[in-house]
Structure 1
């Protein structure tokens, strides 16, 4: 029997199980409910729930109650936590691997303009906080290599003041002239990705054409929280983290177009 000093790291023990790896792979793309994972993976719900609990106990997966139906929950893979765990796992094998796995590496040069830029649509109910934050952050970080817009099923008259403030103070983005849009305004447009940030609006954009890849990010409405402006700061930070994970996916699509 291996001594504790030579036992495999916890991340390796968790991720090496075939079913848990499949769960992590599905959740790496977006947030899912258990019954959706059952359909995707083809295993019984009680078995998937057991392995999801192990991933939650290990800190790799988080669960959030649906804001549309509180009887449902969405599961999310913490990609940042996975990256840190991978680096620690490499270091446990050999110290030299830690520097390799954590090295930022050179900043890649801007990709040449291609005939097709990936088109992304962000959606939420009011298009006044979460989806315009996502639109602004992706446009800011993608450097013109992504076509991005946002819309809502029931748009508010104006962008929420705290959403504008969070973008201005946290990221230097000015949206003073921005106005919410209705999903109808996207009719006839082709999108490669439709990303819903609101549990309620997830089904409202099912008729969008072009056979886009649909991704769900279960992000609570900061305007519904009692925390005020700090809730918008947290929401922007969470969305920014997700945007950081999305950009390599979009970049690889652009390069292959």
Structure 2
């Protein structure tokens, strides 16, 4: 007697479509707006929006309204959820395909570690949190700094507290810096964490004579959430997840000639 056919796991059905796989690939490197995805994959906007809705319904992609223009939205790929869904897909096919996830490793020591710049508007919460976490998780194998387009006088006390409580990192003596103070510096990766600063951040050269790789993480300002410290704790957790997934990407990109 023939075995009844089992439906493909949700991840296989979602990611197996060529256009949706392309969208996942683009969103794996940076948060994107719909019009950017339209240009990148060269398909009509209504088709892109349809497939993004399917990815959102499947829990792989989330959407946030832009803090720079509330009429616009950024789409973000949940890499942790993708990892779990992929593991479940392998297990559904055969028990021997159970995947064990090793924690992301920092880049290997090299003659010149990758240089990363994090930016946000005030350089008082999101970007210094990202700087501190990448420095911590990178184990000295990444050069990292942060700056803002309109830096505040001091780091936000709840950002300092969240880092201290969550990771034992003390930033009480750090002061926000202006992007202008980094003129002439070379960065391999420039990562904006604020929708507003993404449009204002100047271009930086990388160490190979080209342009720094631009990445965007659309993360709301926790100071604008009106909920106090819990918003900073949530922001810390989101940035830490993104930093963990950034580390192996830095390794593979630095290995590429």
Query: Which bracket does the TM-score occupy, shorter chain normalised?
Result: over 0.9
Deviations 1:134-186 (A, max 9, x none): 00000000001100000000000000000000000001101111000000011
Cα distance, 1:116 vs structure 2 = 1.5
Cα distance, 1:66 vs structure 2 = 0.3
CA distance in 1, matches of 2:106, 2:77: 29
For the 8 Å contact 2:106–2:251, the answer to whether it is kept is: no
CA distance in 1, matches of 2:235, 2:202: 25
Q: How many residues align?
A: 252
Task: Give yes or no for the alignment of 1:206 onto 2:202.
Answer: yes
Instruction: Tell me the secondary structure at the aligned position of residue 75 of structure 2.
Output: strand
Instruction: Tell me the secondary structure at the aligned position of residue 74 of structure 1.
Output: strand
Task: Give yes or no for the alignment of 1:168 onto 2:172.
Answer: no
CA distance in 2, matches of 1:164, 1:34: 34
Cα distance, 1:3 vs structure 2 = 8.1
Q: Which of residues 115, 121, 124 in structure 1 aligns to 2:111?
A: 115
Cα distance, 1:209 vs structure 2 = 3.1
CA RMSD of aligned residues (A): 1.8
Deviations 1:227-257 (A, max 9, x none): 1000000000000000000000112234457
Instruction: Tell me the secondary structure at the aligned position of residue 195 of structure 2.
Output: coil
CA distance in 2, matches of 1:247, 1:64: 24
CA distance in 1, matches of 2:47, 2:164: 45
For the 8 Å contact 2:105–2:248, the answer to whether it is kept is: no
CA distance in 2, matches of 1:72, 1:181: 29
CA distance in 1, matches of 2:129, 2:137: 12
Q: Which residue is 2:25 aligned to?
A: 25
Instruction: Tell me the secondary structure at the aligned position of residue 62 of structure 2.
Output: strand
Task: Give yes or no for the alignment of 1:69 onto 2:69.
Answer: yes
CA distance in 2, matches of 1:17, 1:163: 41
Q: Which residue is 1:92 aligned to?
A: 92
Q: Is there any run of 5+ residues in structure 1 with no aligned partner, and where?
A: none
For the 8 Å contact 2:188–2:205, the answer to whether it is kept is: no
Cα distance, 1:95 vs structure 2 = 1.2
For the 8 Å contact 1:116–1:254, the answer to whether it is kept is: no
Task: Give yes or no for the alignment of 1:182 onto 2:175.
Answer: no
Q: Is there any run of 5+ residues in structure 2 with no aligned partner, and where?
A: none
Cα distance, 1:206 vs structure 2 = 3.2
CA distance in 1, matches of 2:215, 2:20: 20
Change (3 A) 1:196 1:109: closer
Cα distance, 1:6 vs structure 2 = 1.0
For the 8 Å contact 1:118–1:253, the answer to whether it is kept is: no
Instruction: Tell me the secondary structure at the aligned position of residue 102 of structure 1.
Output: coil
CA distance in 2, matches of 1:193, 1:179: 22
For the 8 Å contact 1:166–1:232, the answer to whether it is kept is: yes
TM-score normalized with structure 1 length: 0.94
For the 8 Å contact 2:107–2:142, the answer to whether it is kept is: no
Change (3 A) 1:24 1:132: same
